[in-house]
Structure 1
């Protein structure tokens, strides 16, 4: 088995058990398929990931309409094995997935350089993918009362399971899910050498502890329709998509909505027109038009979009709080070390993050 792009310590030790399993037991697993014959079919992608992800890839790609889409925009899973770590403590306990290789370059890097017509063409393709995910038929039991991940049971049937990055799950209800997400972020903040769990920021940790509870979260999600169930990709962004520069096809939306005016338009679905008005941000007209096209493409496909979700602003408030509890800039030790080269910049970044978090927490107390 030829190996390229080895970037993890112990990679070969993890690979050896996979080679043995493939030769000993073959590739038959629920949700797998033989890669299509093509010039690229001799190349496959091997992912060594955390335990629940092997089943996710097999499940998602095996269900219609994704499995029936031709030509496929999703690399077909050829083989996978669930993780058994920590029950099995060495490399044989790690999960893995082997899937079809799809040519292309990172869409995120390409999108900003595209002309508006090219961006709009990509938006239509991404909307097809998201609408296809949402139209995927789920087993009745999961479609009515399940919040969490999906997996296969011993007979190859789809059942509820743990999500890829948020154990423990599934959850009993929507409040429990959000409470765990917020507490998980607070736990992560405790691992940050800059945030230190917000213990050193005056009054911040006490304010957090007084509000991150079931009563507060229950009040925040009041009015949200938690009965809708659909298949969701937890990181549906352009960073996780490839763009084939030869065919101009997107493989696998992604519009940054940090600006308040654009954010309001996305949440409400009311974009209007920028004619006669100043663009709300640099290169704003192109971004606005792309976001408007994205919203329209989802509406045309009858897909769920922010403006069609009841009480979306309450959900958005929780998402904003989740991000503020563990801001990515102060969660990465690599980025923290860069800031430490100028101590005043690190102090300024921590203070700005604390001020933002306190403002959000105060908004919860006085909505």
Structure 2
């Protein structure tokens, strides 16, 4: 019999925890509690990787909008529960999630939801989940958010290569409009830094550490990358394969770049003082839509969100098959040359005609050129700030590429390592990681 996964070990304890939250916040009787259904969403008991959050659908047997609420449901970022509402989403943050720091992650998500709701209020239907209650993660207590159960269904096969290009264009146009709203939103003056968010004692949204990094806030874009590069070095210090990159002079080269090279990379970025709401996981996986109207109905999962330069959204969102903008990479193989051509098309805003045939890779088809051009066309149509309009984004992307190369996921993720115990494969991954990191360093002159 296979052992239970680390996700499933505390399954019943989490259900019991939710029941206590419902009793504490709504004063449900035993009978009412027994009639309340708590159903996991997108949950696999044997999923090998740690979930960032455990998500549940809560179905009440009665209207809870008139129930007395304690202070937990009157916190900053919350709105009143609408009359007649009986179904909600409950998100519990996983204290064991890889690379997520719990101190302000709930506060950051609620604050971003608050800002995004204001930024996108002009879009109908309203696509940002409302928050009705939340609690921070503390020692021995999981962080939680009670929010809207949003209408709609997953996009699923719409972006399949065989799907309708016209339907894809329609969805991409709606995505571009959402992105434009996030970019154009004027941040409150209380947010002074780059990184994450939280609430002060008066309920104002203020800068805080970035939950996916565990550091910050920073006073400039330069400082944000300097801080994150240093965190990445510390993160691999005790890794048995990377050893803090203390071999072949690599660590010294990285530290030299942080000290001397980083300011030069940002010198050609006139917009380096710009900040925006960054979702950082803005993909079809986090969108719902109405099949009858074709309208997007929800943008979900703000767990990785932050306040950073508008370029950062293009480094983390929109999918790897043509939407994302990457930093420099070697053109020694067909895949690298294809990605280099896509990068140039995005930088110039001009795509080759006719469009290239996608390159087949060991992971399947490469760039979906039709989809990539359609995305660029919609960004232009909606006047979205994009790679072709952000002067110096190529050098910023190179810094981000270096950041990713410092902490290669397949060598630092404990779950991946646990499933891949072959030492020969691990050593091969180490050699590939070193080659990539050294190549990026050489490209930027270090």
Bin of the TM-score, shorter chain as denominator length: 0.7 to 0.9
Contact 1:35 1:78 in 2 (8 A): yes
Q: In structure 2, what is the equivalent of residue 44 of structure 1?
A: 88
Q: What is the aligned length? A: 346
Q: Are the structure 2 counterparts of residues 179 and 334 from structure 1 closer, same or farther at C-alpha, using a change threshold of 3 Å?
A: same
**What is the correspondence of 1:171-182 to structure 2 with a 5 Å cutoff?**
171-182=218-229
Q: In structure 1, what is the equivalent of residue 336 of structure 2?
A: none
Q: In structure 1, what is the equivalent of residue 357 of structure 2?
A: 279
Corresponding residue SS for 1:164: coil
**What runs of 5+ residues in structure 2 fail to find an aligned partner?**
1-6, 27-69, 94-101, 300-316, 327-338
Q: Are the structure 2 counterparts of residues 297 and 14 from structure 1 closer, same or farther at C-alpha, using a change threshold of 3 Å?
A: same
Contact 1:221 1:315 in 2 (8 A): yes
1:58 equivalent to 2:110? Answer yes
**What runs of 5+ residues in structure 1 fail to find an aligned partner?**
1-5
Corresponding residue SS for 1:156: coil
Distance of 2:170 and 2:81 partners within structure 1: 28
Deviation of 1:312 (Å): 0.6
Which of structure 1's runs of 4+ aligned residues deviate more than 6 A?
283-286
Q: In structure 1, what is the equivalent of residue 25 of structure 2?
A: 22
Of 384, 403, 406, which residue of structure 2 is paired with 1:303? 384
Q: Cα RMSD (Å) of the superposition?
A: 3.1
Corresponding residue SS for 2:206: strand
**What is the correspondence of 1:1-367 to structure 2 with a 5 Å cutoff?**
7=8, 9=10, 10-12=13-15, 14-15=17-18, 18-19=21-22, 21-23=24-26, 24-25=70-71, 27-34=73-80, 41-49=85-93, 50-63=102-115, 64-83=118-137, 85=138, 89-91=139-141, 94-104=142-152, 106-107=154-155, 111-112=159-160, 114-140=163-189, 142=191, 146-190=193-237, 192-199=239-246, 202-211=248-257, 213-224=258-269, 225-245=271-291, 247-250=293-296, 251-252=298-299, 254-256=318-320, 257=324, 259-274=339-354, 278-282=356-360, 287-341=368-422, 343-365=423-445
Deviation of 1:28 (Å): 1.9
CA deviation digits over 1:44-66, x for unaligned, max 9? 22122333233334333334232
Contact 2:111 2:198 in 1 (8 A): yes
Q: Are the structure 2 counterparts of residues 234 and 255 from structure 1 closer, same or farther at C-alpha, using a change threshold of 3 Å?
A: closer
Distance of 1:131 and 1:241 partners within structure 2: 16
Q: Are the structure 2 counterparts of residues 197 and 286 from structure 1 closer, same or farther at C-alpha, using a change threshold of 3 Å?
A: closer
Deviation of 1:178 (Å): 0.5
Distance of 1:223 and 1:167 partners within structure 2: 28
Contact 1:192 1:332 in 2 (8 A): no
Distance of 2:243 and 2:286 partners within structure 1: 30
Contact 1:175 1:214 in 2 (8 A): no
